[in-house]
Structure 1
Amino acid sequence: MEWTLSYDLDEFMAAAGGFLHDDPARNTVALTVTGDMRAEGPQVRKDVLFGWWPAGGHVEGAFLWTPSYPPLLSAMPERAARNLADVLAERAAALPGASGSQAATEAFADEWKRRTGAASRVTMHQRLYRLGELEVPDPLPAGTARTANRDERPLMLEWATAFWTEVDEHGPVNTAMMDARLETGRIALWEAGGQPVAMAWWSPVVAGMSRVSAVYTPPEHRRRGYGAAVTTKATRSAMEEGATDVVLFTDLANPTSNAVYHRLGYRPVEDRMVLAFT
Structure 2
Amino acid sequence: MSPDDWHLTEDLDGFLARAGDFLRSRPALHTVPLTVTEALRTRGADAYGAEAPIFGRLERAGEVRAIFFRTPPRRLNLTPLTPEEADSLADYLADLGRPLPGVSADHDTATAFAEAWQRHTGATPTLYERQCLYRLGTLTPPEPLPEGRGRVAGTQDRDQLMLWYREFVDAIGEVSSSDASSWVDARIASGRVTFWETPDGTPVSMAGVTPMVAGQIRVAPVYTPARLRGRGYAGAATVEVSRAALAAGAEEVLLFADLANPISNGLYQRIGYRPVTDFAVYDFSCP
TM-score bracket relative to the smaller structure? over 0.9
Partner SS state of residue 181, structure 1: helix
Q: TM (normalized to structure 2)?
A: 0.92
Q: Residue 159 of structure 1 corresponds to which residue in structure 2?
A: 164
**What is the aligned counterpart of 1:12 among 15, 19, 38?**
15
Deviation at 1:173, TM superposition (A): 5.1
Ranges in structure 2 where 5+ consecutive residues have no aligned partner: none
Give the AA of the match of 2:99. A
Q: Residue 102 of structure 1 corresponds to which residue in structure 2?
A: 107
Q: 1:178 to 1:33 in 2, by over 3 A?
A: farther
Q: Residue 197 of structure 2 corresponds to which residue in structure 1?
A: 191
Q: Is the 8 A contact 1:190 1:229 kept in 2?
A: yes
The yes-or-no answer on 1:182 pairing with 2:171 is no
**What is the aligned counterpart of 1:83 among 79, 85, 88?**
88
Give the AA of the match of 2:44. G
The yes-or-no answer on 1:71 pairing with 2:76 is yes
Deviation at 1:166, TM superposition (A): 2.1
Q: Residue 128 of structure 1 corresponds to which residue in structure 2?
A: 133
The yes-or-no answer on 1:248 pairing with 2:255 is yes
- Shifted more, 140-149 versus 74-83: the winner is 74-83
Q: 1:200 to 1:85 in 2, by over 3 A?
A: same
The yes-or-no answer on 1:202 pairing with 2:205 is no
**What is the aligned counterpart of 1:35 among 35, 38, 42?**
38
**What is the aligned counterpart of 2:220 among 213, 216, 237?**
213
How many angstroms apart in 2 are the aligned matches of 1:38 and 1:214?
Answer: 21
Q: Is the 8 A contact 1:7 1:48 kept in 2?
A: yes
Ranges in structure 1 where 5+ consecutive residues have no aligned partner: none
How many angstroms apart in 1 are the aligned matches of 2:153 and 2:7?
Answer: 41
The yes-or-no answer on 1:257 pairing with 2:264 is yes
- Shifted more, 67-76 versus 158-167: the winner is 158-167
How many angstroms apart in 2 are the aligned matches of 1:200 and 1:50?
Answer: 29
- Shifted more, 157-166 versus 97-106: the winner is 157-166
- Shifted more, 259-268 versus 156-165: the winner is 156-165
Q: 1:194 to 1:237 in 2, by over 3 A?
A: same
How many angstroms apart in 2 are the aligned matches of 1:59 and 1:177?
Answer: 32
How many angstroms apart in 2 are the aligned matches of 1:173 and 1:227?
Answer: 24
Total equivalences in the alignment? 278
The yes-or-no answer on 1:266 pairing with 2:260 is no
Partner SS state of residue 198, structure 1: strand
Q: TM (normalized to structure 1)?
A: 0.95
Q: Residue 239 of structure 1 corresponds to which residue in structure 2?
A: 246
Partner SS state of residue 139, structure 2: coil
Q: Is the 8 A contact 1:60 1:77 kept in 2?
A: no
How many angstroms apart in 2 are the aligned matches of 1:12 and 1:277?
Answer: 27
Identity %: 42
Partner SS state of residue 96, structure 2: coil
The yes-or-no answer on 1:59 pairing with 2:64 is yes
Q: Deviations over 1:81-101 (max 9, x none)?
A: 112112222334521110011
Q: 1:273 to 1:170 in 2, by over 3 A?
A: farther
Q: Is the 8 A contact 1:164 1:173 kept in 2?
A: no
How many angstroms apart in 1 are the aligned matches of 2:197 and 2:75?
Answer: 35
